[in-house]
Each structure stands twice: as C-alpha cells, then as structure tokens.
C-alpha cells in the first residue's frame, strides 16, 4: 500500500514496533518499561507511579517556552481478543499490521489501535523537529480497558498541564466532549454438580460467529450476545425435556460484547432427538432475527468427549432463568441529545467453577443515578436467584463543557485546516477524561483520534488516511499556542 503522508509512515513505524510488545490489560509492565527506555534513549525525562502509569516530558520548542503545558494522553493496554481458531499468544507474539484497501487490521486478533495509535502519534511528536509546540506531558495510563483503574490511581502532582488532549476517540473529524460513567457487578450462584443419571446423554453446544464489538460504541446496533443466544437455546431444550448443565462459559472482557459461548449439558436418551431439533429450529429463527446485524450466527451440537458432573434440574433452571432474565443492550436513550444512548448494560462473561457459577456484567450511563438504578436492578435479580453480588467501584461520567476555550480553539483550527466544521459529540463509551478532570481541578479537555472500526473485536481496523489528518490537526493545534 502506497502511503503518501510522510508523518503517517513514521507513526505506523512506531505503531508496528509497539505491536511487538505484550500489552494486554493488567499486563503492561513490558510496554511501560519499553516506553521508559525509549524516552531515556532519546534524552527525555520519564517517571512512573505506583501502578505504572507513565509520564514522559517533552520540552517546549523555541518560541513556545511561555505557552501553557499540554498533556497528550492515551492508554498503554489493549483488549486482547482473537477468533476461536487463532493460535496467537498475546503474551509473546507480535501483532503484524495487515494493510488492505486503505485500512490496517490484524490477522484474526484485535489490532491494538485502541489505543496504541495514540502512543505512536505521541512518540512521533516527541521526536519531530518541524512542529512547534508548548512543553508536552505524554501521559500513558494502564488498565483503561478493564475499568480505567490507571486513571483512578493517578495522584496529585503527577501531571502539571491544564490542557489535555485525549487521543482515544475513534472517528476523525469528531471532537468528544463528554462520555458515560460506568459500574460493574458480578453475581455468584452456588452450585453443587453431581454425577448425572446413568441414562442421560452429554452434549456440547457452541454458539459462535457473532460480531461482538465494543460494549459502548456498538451497543446500539443490537448485535447478538452469544451468552444470551446460548442460554435461549438451552432454555428451549429444557422446555421440551429434562436438561442438566455441566459447564457453561462465554465472553472474554467486561467491555466486549460476547461473540462466543458454549455449554456441556445432559438430556435423557429419549430427549436427544428433541434437543437436536430445537437447535436446528432456533438456528433458523436466529438467522432470520439477526439477518441484518449478525448474519453469521452458528450453533453446533456435538459429543463433548467427556462426562463431567452436572447441576440438578432445579439448579439448572435457576441458572438459566437468571442468565435469560439478565438485561443486555440499550436500557434508555437520552431525552436531551437525539440518538445518544444514555444507559446500557453488557452481559459480559459467564463461567462455571467447581462450586459456583459467575456472571459478570458492565453498566454504562451518562446519568449516574440511572447507572446506580440499573446496577440495583441487576442486584435485585441476583438476590431472587439466591446469588451473592459484588459491585465494582465504577468511574464517573464526563460532563461536557460547551464553553470550553480548548474546544473553541480546536474548532477554529480544524475549520481553518479542512474548511469544514468538526462534529462535537458526547459518547456512550467510557473515557479517562472524566476521572482525570475530577482529579485535576481546572483541566480543559477534549478527545479525538483517527477512525477505528470494530474495536474490542478481531475485526478491529484503522483507516490509514485518517491518521495523517489527525496528525495535521494536532500539529496545527499545538502550533497555535505560540
């Protein structure tokens, strides 16, 4: 692929190097060390805090010594998702860049453009000899994808700048000025698997082929949730014959819509044909229901090759009822902003252990009262099922400031550069700006970035042309502060 924009080539060079370093959420030490060493090699001051958030200081260029310090912010971790057939090992294997038709993607895994492209841009900016800019603080946080815990752990004085450019939005030409807050809840049901009756036949049911995606960005598209699909089929079989679950699992991350789920279960020998017919009939219905948004749904029934212990009929019914009734998707739309999802829930993961069934879900809302209410409703459902609940601390929404001086400057620069107005929006996904703004009084913030599609899934892709446009805007914006 022939890339004309010279700075895009440099940015992608650093992005490719970054993609050789493991950086799944909660395992960022390697990438933190790599970036700190990179800073040292180039004579830049770097420091880390107790959770390995990293700050790299870049001196102002000549003529900008008295300009306000600007924070360029992104996160080091990535969502590590791959297809069922991929053999990729995120703890050691590099993620090669695959370029095709103006887009960059990976082979059967997430690409890591969310948010590695921000780091690559910051690295390019730090070494650039052409762009005039104020003093810069490159703030790279940890563990953004599993709860923004790196931002939560930031301490007073770690950064000094009062202008923050968060490069973690995913549509070029769009400025994000507000986002949803979030909270999670885990429900644990106690189970007591025992040896199933002798005349029962085991089966393994796999639900797959679904798109998944980002539980904030893509939740409004009403894509299928593999956990709900699987549970729906199991409940339908249970309505025809006795069914006893042995194991059930699905989903991989709190902020990724589940693409795959599977269960091992038993039915009486006389109910085997009924189970097969239910799977066949429901697959046809599901393909029709999701024809436009998730056309590749698959259901596969096979022998499990093992005979694990199973839940009783009563425990199975209780588990299926809870998962089937568990909310997923958009709960409420905003009454103030047309088209904005206000409140939603992602039924994220389910798994069985030796004595427990764990169900984890992640709620988002731009209205913190509605966020608490949805979490309370899920907790009430868990109590009805006899479960124990553990609610995460969560993070605040980012309330937009439409009178922001930074926003006004960004709009002015963008219009002068591209001769069109940028879009200003509030998003349903979570960003670190809300937390950072609450910690550092007087912070003026905005979020932008190149175009990324299908983040948090193996279909993640990055638009090449948008990288250069974001770079040109960033360079012009920084230069405007002389």
For the segment 341-364, the average pLDDT, to the nearest whole number, is 97
How far is 185 from 392, CA to CA, in rounded Å?
Answer: 6
pLDDT category at 89 given cuts 50, 70, 90 is very high
* Entry pTM: 0.82
Residue with tokens 């959420």: 25
Query: Which tens digits make up the pLDDT trace of 65-86?
Result: 999 999 999 999 999 999 989 9
Model confidence at 268: pLDDT above 90: yes
65 among known catalytic residues: no
- Residue pair 469/450 in contact (Cβ under 8 Å)? The answer is yes
Which DSSP category does 256 fall into?
Answer: B
Burial label, 289 (beta-carbon count in 10 A; 0-12, 13-18, 19+): middle
Extract the runs of DSSP E, i.e. beta strands, from 61-170.
70-75, 98-100, 103-105, 136-141, 163-166
Q: For the range 33-41, what are the long-range contacts, defined as Cβ-Cβ under 8 Å and sequence gap of 24 or more?
A: 35/76, 35/119, 35/140, 38/123, 39/126
Does residue 147 register a pLDDT over 90?
Answer: no
Q: Is 77 a catalytic residue?
A: yes
Q: What is the mean pLDDT of the chain?
A: 96
| Euclidean distance between CA atoms 237 and 279, whole angstroms | 8
Give 241's strand partners. Answer: none
Q: Is the pLDDT of residue 295 over 80?
A: yes
Q: Which option is the CATH number for 6-180+397-479: 3.40.630.10, 3.20.20.70, 1.10.260.40, 3.30.70.20? A: 3.40.630.10
Reading the block at residue 381, the tokens are 């459902």
Q: Tokens 């001051």, residue? A: 45
pLDDT-above-70 percentage for the chain: 100
Encoded tokens for 60: 């102002």
Q: Catalytic: which of 28, 77, 81, 137?
A: 77
Predicted confidence (pLDDT) per residue in 24-56, tens digit: 999 999 999 999 999 999 999 999 999 999 999
Whole-number Å distance between alpha carbons of 47 and 294: 45
Q: Report pLDDT for 1.
A: 67
Residues of the chain with CATH 3.40.630.10: 6-180+397-479
Q: How confident is the model at residue 443 (pLDDT cuts 50, 70, 90)?
A: very high
Classify domain 183-391 by CATH architecture.
2-Layer Sandwich (3.30)
| pLDDT-based confidence at residue 430 (cuts at 50, 70, 90) | confident
Active-site entry in 81, 137, 144, 459 = 144
**CA 219 – CA 217 distance, rounded (Å):** 6
Quick one: which of 140, 166, 128 has its CA closest to 34?
140
Within the chain, all domains assigned CATH 3.30.70.360 are found at 183-391
Three-state DSSP state, 191: coil
pLDDT at 393: 74
**Distant-in-sequence, close-in-space partners of 39: CB < 8 Å, separation ≥ 6:** 45, 46, 56, 126
Closest listed residue to residue 448, CA positions, set 169, 121, 71: 169
Determine contact, residues 153/432, Cβ cutoff 8 Å. no
4-12: average pLDDT: 96
């Amino acid at each position: 692929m022939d890339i004309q924009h010279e700075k895009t080539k440099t940015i992608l060079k650093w992005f490719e190097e970054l993609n050789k370093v493991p950086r799944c959420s909660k395992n960022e030490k390697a990438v933190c060390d790599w970036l700190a060493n990179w800073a040292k090699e180039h004579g830049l001051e770097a420091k880390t805090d107790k959770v390995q958030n990293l700050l790299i200081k870049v001196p102002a260029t000549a003529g900008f010594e008295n300009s306000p310090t600007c924070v360029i912010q992104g996160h080091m971790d990535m969502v590590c998702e791959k297809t069922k057939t991929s053999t990729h090992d995120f703890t050691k294997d590099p993620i090669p860049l695959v370029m095709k038709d103006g887009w960059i993607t990976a082979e059967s895994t997430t690409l890591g453009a969310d948010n590695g492209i921000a780091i690559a841009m910051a690295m390019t900016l730090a070494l650039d000899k052409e762009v005039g800019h104020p003093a810069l603080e490159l703030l790279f946080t940890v563990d953004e994808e599993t709860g923004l815990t790196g931002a939560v752990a930031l301490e007073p004085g770690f950064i000094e700048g009062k202008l923050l450019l968060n490069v973690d939005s995913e549509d070029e030409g769009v400025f994000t000025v507000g986002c949803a807050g979030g909270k999670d809840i885990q429900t644990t049901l106690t189970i007591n698997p025992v040896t199933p009756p002798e005349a029962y036949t085991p089966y393994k049911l796999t639900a797959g082929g679904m798109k998944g995606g980002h539980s904030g960005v893509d939740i409004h598209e009403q894509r299928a949730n593999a956990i709900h699909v699987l549970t729906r089929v199991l409940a339908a079989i249970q309505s025809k014959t006795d069914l006893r679950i042995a194991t059930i699992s699905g989903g991989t991350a709190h902020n990724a819509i589940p693409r795959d789920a599977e269960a091992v279960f038993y039915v009486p020998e006389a109910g085997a044909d009924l189970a097969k017919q239910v799977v066949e009939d429901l697959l046809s219905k599901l393909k029709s229901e999701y024809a436009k948004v998730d056309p590749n749904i698959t259901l596969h029934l096979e022998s499990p090759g093992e005979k694990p212990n199973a839940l009783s009929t009563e425990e199975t019914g209780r588990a299926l009822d809870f998962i089937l009734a568990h909310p997923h998707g958009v709960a409420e739309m905003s009454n103030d902003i047309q088209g904005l999802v206000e409140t939603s829930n992602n039924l994220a993961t389910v798994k069985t252990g030796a004595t427990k069934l764990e169900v984890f879900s992640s709620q988002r809302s731009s209205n913190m009262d509605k966020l608490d209410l949805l979490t309370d409703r899920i907790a009430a459902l868990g109590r009805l099922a006899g479960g124990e609940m553990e609610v995460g601390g969560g993070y605040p929404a980012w309330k937009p400031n439409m009178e922001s001086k930074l926003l006004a400057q960004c709009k002015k620069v963008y219009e002068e550069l591209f001769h069109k107005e940028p879009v200003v929006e509030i998003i349903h996904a979570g960003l670190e700006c809300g937390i950072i703004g609450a910690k550092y009084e007087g912070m003026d913030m905005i979020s932008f970035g190149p175009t990324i599609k299908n983040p948090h899934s193996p279909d993640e892709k990055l638009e090449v042309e948008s990288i250069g446009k974001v770079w040109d805007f960033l360079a012009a914006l920084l230069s405007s502060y002389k």
